[in-house]
Amino acid sequence: MCIMHPIIIDFSVQHSNDAKKIGVTICQQLFVKRILAKKPTVILITGDSGEGKSYTALKILEIVNNYFGVNTLDSMEDQIVYTPLEYSKKIKAILHDKNKKKLRCMILDEARELVSSHLWYSFVNKAIADVNALHRTVKPLVFIVVVQFIRDIDPATRRTIQFYCNCARPLNQKYVRVNINRLWKDERDIDSPKIRKRRLRGYLFYGDRQQKGNKWIRFLPTYLQVSLPEKAVYKRYEKINYERKSQILNRKLDDLLHLIEKESGVTSTKVNDLVTYFVDHPELMDMIERRVGGKCVMKTEFKTMFSLTPTEVQDFQLLLYKTLKASKIIQTRSTLEEKEVVEDES
Instruction: Kindly list the distances between the CA atom of residue 3 and the CA atoms of 6, 9, in Å, as whole numbers in the listed order.
Output: 10, 19
Instruction: Judge if 15 and 146 occupy the same domain.
Output: yes
Give me the percent of the chain exceeding a pLDDT of 90. 18
- Let me know if residue 151 belongs to a domain: yes
Would you state the pLDDT for residue 342?
36
Instruction: Kindly list the distances between the CA atom of residue 173 and the CA atoms of 97, 169, 226, in Å, as whole numbers in the listed order.
Output: 40, 7, 11
pLDDT of 275-287, one tens digit each? 877 777 675 676 6
Q: Under a CB-based contact definition with an 8 Å cutoff, are residues 30 and 198 in contact?
A: no
Instruction: Judge if 274 and 330 occupy the same domain.
Output: yes
- For residue 193, give the 3-state DSSP assignment: coil
- Per-chain mean pLDDT for the chain: 78
- Let me know if residue 181 belongs to a domain: yes
Last residue of a domain, one of 242, 259, 284: 242
Instruction: Judge if 189 and 287 occupy the same domain.
Output: no
Would you state the pLDDT for residue 339?
38
Would you state the pLDDT for residue 116?
61
Would you state the pLDDT for residue 112?
63
Instruction: Tell whether the model's pLDDT for residue 70 goes beyond 90.
Output: yes
CA dihedral 242, 243, 249, 255 (to 10 degrees): -170
Q: Name the residue range of residue 328's domain.
A: 269-345
| Confidence label for 223 from pLDDT (cuts 50, 70 and 90) | confident
Instruction: Judge if 158 and 19 occupy the same domain.
Output: yes
Give me the percent of the chain exceeding a pLDDT of 70. 74
Instruction: Tell whether the model's pLDDT for residue 340 goes beyond 50.
Output: no
| Confidence label for 261 from pLDDT (cuts 50, 70 and 90) | low
Instruction: Judge if 205 and 312 occupy the same domain.
Output: no
Q: What does R_g of the chain's alpha carbons equal in angstroms?
A: 24
Average pLDDT over every residue of 178-190: 88
pTM for this model (two decimals): 0.69
- Let me know if residue 336 belongs to a domain: yes
Q: Which CATH number goes with the domain that contains 173?
A: 3.40.50.300
Structural element, H or E, at residue 100: none
Instruction: Judge if 119 and 197 occupy the same domain.
Output: yes
- Let me know if residue 259 belongs to a domain: no
Beta strand 175-186 pairing with 163-168: antiparallel
Would you state the pLDDT for residue 337?
40
Would you state the pLDDT for residue 182?
92
d(CA 335, CA 343) in angstroms, rounded, equals: 12
- Let me know if residue 251 belongs to a domain: no
Would you state the pLDDT for residue 44?
93
Q: Under a CB-based contact definition with an 8 Å cutoff, are residues 43 and 182 in contact?
A: no
- Let me know if residue 263 belongs to a domain: no
Instruction: Tell whether the model's pLDDT for residue 336 goes beyond 70.
Output: no
Instruction: Judge if 289 and 205 occupy the same domain.
Output: no
Instruction: Judge if 233 and 300 occupy the same domain.
Output: no
Last residue of a domain, one of 242, 258, 279: 242
Would you state the pLDDT for residue 250?
57
Would you state the pLDDT for residue 132?
75
Lowest mean pLDDT: which of 195-204, 232-241, 329-338? 329-338
What's the number of domains the chain is made of?
A: 2
Instruction: Judge if 313 and 226 occupy the same domain.
Output: no
Instruction: Judge if 212 and 329 occupy the same domain.
Output: no
- Let me know if residue 318 belongs to a domain: yes
| Confidence label for 61 from pLDDT (cuts 50, 70 and 90) | very high
Instruction: Judge if 87 and 215 occupy the same domain.
Output: yes
| Confidence label for 264 from pLDDT (cuts 50, 70 and 90) | low
Lowest mean pLDDT: which of 59-73, 179-193, 225-239? 225-239
Instruction: Tell whether the model's pLDDT for residue 237 goes beyond 80.
Output: yes
Instruction: Judge if 232 and 276 occupy the same domain.
Output: no
Would you state the pLDDT for residue 87?
83
Structural element, H or E, at residue 169: none
Last residue of a domain, one of 242, 261, 280: 242
Would you state the pLDDT for residue 312?
80
- Let me know if residue 29 belongs to a domain: yes
* Runs of H (alpha helix) within 68-145: 72-79, 84-96, 117-133
Higher pLDDT pick, 87 / 62: 62
pLDDT of 121-148, one tens digit each? 788 888 888 777 666 667 888 999 998 8
